[in-house]
Amino acid sequence: MKIAVFAGDGIGPEVTHEAIRVLHALGLNDLELVEGDVGAAAYRKHGHPLPPATLAIAHDCDAILFGSVGDFDCDHLERHLRPEQAILGLRKELGLFANLRPAKVYKGLEDMSTLRPEIARVIDMVIVRESNGDVYFGEKGIRTLPDGRREGYDIMSYAEDEVRRIAHVGFRTAMGRKKQLCSVDKANVLETSQLWRDVVIEVSAEYPEVELSHLYVDNAAMQMVKSPGQFDVIVTGNMFGDILSDQASMCVGSIGLLASATMAEGTKGLFEPIHGSAPDIAGKGIANPMAQILSAAMLLRHSFGKEAEAARIEAAVAKALADGICGGDLGGSHGTAEIGDAVLARL
Ligand code: IPM
Ligand code: MG
């Protein structure tokens, strides 16, 4: 099990440290960890957020445990040198197109949600977000119009094969759950979305058991706070998935709790919390490492088929939460290491 560890910026190293302690505690005997630099940290050392050496490690490993990238000090850099390019570059270079973002309310912890407990209680969804295309990767720039005004542009597009392969992931994910798939788009306005919808409907013929529905993204955002329990699996594009997954995290209670897997065809994947580098609390030892610990669980499950170990980690996190262990993001006062200790004790 060769795992690349790219801790990155801000709270990334702190929370990754705890996830690694948890991985070691499982006593997996064939575990090999290879560290690499990403983000602003890599830019400072090597002049690039995703240096060739890091990319080589990523290619060579079976899975990547990724922390977070982002640093306000880099806001002035040209876009291709900004920390975020590390994660975007890895997704693209490794063909990591299927970003799975589960959002589930832990039993007894519905009070953590900003929604009313009776609404939050039933949340158990997976957002399947496409992560190789869309407006994220289209031609972009800032140009000057003939009359001298500046104009920013980012081209949104999806090719049908890109939609088809993520649709399959959506349907397969639904087949392993409640067999309900909701495709989110903006087909009432965008041609990109019309093609998305057409292709998802084509693919649905191969999954007769899955109940397919469609929502426009604005309506989906509203439904997610109105009755989030209606969602089993959501499949959507890169941009809408980015936004809806942050929203889903607050429906659960905290962005500090949501892990994600970004898979290529096959078992290679990148695993990261959906939160960012949180520069405001970095280095203080107060970040909640649970999302990163849960990312390690997803890594074991999706890249190595180690379901029992993954479930063990998830149960330990759930138990720690149930015992009142939580960080400032959830109104608690436990520090990063304390939360790590608490999870370890419950493994
Ligand atoms: C995410 C993040 C990234 C994204 C940023 C850091 C580029 O927000 O993983 O959700 O937009 O995909
Ligand atoms: Mg995001």
242-266, pLDDT tens digit by residue? 999 989 988 998 888 899 999 999 9
Q: How far is CA 46 from CA 41, 43, 115, in A?
A: 9, 5, 44
Domain range list for the chain:
1-97+264-347, 103-131+159-257
Alpha helices in 181-306 (DSSP H): 191-204, 217-226, 238-252, 290-304
**Domain pair 1-97+264-347 / 103-131+159-257, same fold:** yes
pLDDT given for residue 29 in this prediction: 83
- Across the beta sheet with 98-104, what order do the strands follow? 32-35, 2-8, 63-68, 269-273, 259-263, 98-104, 124-130, 233-236, 180-185, 211-216
Class of the CATH-defined domain 1-97+264-347: alpha beta
Catalytic choice (43, 136, 158, 207): 136
pLDDT at site 107: 80
Q: What average pLDDT does range 94-102 have in this prediction? A: 96
What 3-state DSSP class applies to 317? helix
Q: Whose CA is nearest to atom 6 of ligand 1?
A: 84
Q: Which atom of ligand 1 is nearest to the CA of 88?
A: 7
pLDDT at 108 exceeding the cut of 80: no
Query: Whose alpha carbon is nearest atom 5 of ligand 1?
Result: 84
Q: Give me ligand 1 centre to Cα 322, in Å.
A: 29
Residue 185 is a catalytic residue: no
280 is annotated as an active-site residue: no
Does position 149 have pLDDT exceeding 80, yes or no?
Answer: yes
Say whether pLDDT at 111 is over 90.
no
Beta-carbon contacts of 101 under 8 Å, excluding residues fewer than 6 positions away, are 126, 127, 128, 129, 241, 245, 248, 258, 260, 274
Class of domain 103-131+159-257: alpha beta
- Distance between Cα 246 and ligand 2 center (Å): 6
Distance 240 CA to ligand 2 centre (A): 10
- Looking at the chain, the whole-number percentage of residues with pLDDT higher than 70 is 100
Share of the chain above pLDDT 90, in %: 91
